Amino acid sequence: GENVEQHPSTLSVQEGDSAVIKCTYSDSASNYFPWYKQELGKRPQLIIDIRSNVGEKKDQRIAVTLNKTAKHFSLHITETQPEDSAVYFCAASKQAGTALIFGKGTTLSVSS
């Protein structure tokens, strides 16, 4: 089955710096890759997603890149702010509406 590896497990940056989180997946049939942000005690919230027919997607300070050949995708957050501090999960799935396989999460800390 699908396996998603996520690195790093923790990431500390200064406010205004960029943060990059990387994930790799094992199943070449996976074609949907969302990123979720989860604050302590709250639900996972989708922040950006990408499908396999696109190499890059950007939404304000957040961008995701996908390399299908290498089977990895990355989350980029620019101009980080303290409110970006949370746990970020990458995920992969093979088909619309099917199960998401999550990475183990990255705890991002942004200090001011």
Q: Which stretch binds other proteins (CB under 8 A): 18-26, 37-45, 62-70, 78-86?
A: 37-45
H or E element at residue 16: none
Among 34, 37, 64, 77, binds other proteins (CB under 8 A): 34
Which residue in 49, 62, 71, 109 binds other proteins (CB under 8 A)?
49
Residue in 74, 94, 84, 91 with CA at minimum distance from that of residue 34: 91
**Near other proteins by CB under 8 A: residue from 32, 57, 68, 72:** 32
- C-alpha–C-alpha distance, residues 71 and 64, integer Å: 13
For residue 39, give the amino acid letter. E
**Smallest separation (angstroms) from other proteins to the CB of 4:** 9
Contact 4, 25 (CB under 8 A): yes
CB of 96 to other proteins, least distance (A): 4
Cα distance between the two ends of the chain: 41
Q: What is the β-pairing status of strands 106-111 and 86-92? A: antiparallel
Judged by CB under 8 A, the stretch of 21-29, 34-42, 60-68, 75-83 that binds other proteins is 34-42
* Binding of other proteins by 53 (CB under 8 A): no
Residues that bind other proteins (CB under 8 A): 32, 34, 36, 42-46, 49, 51, 89, 93, 95-105
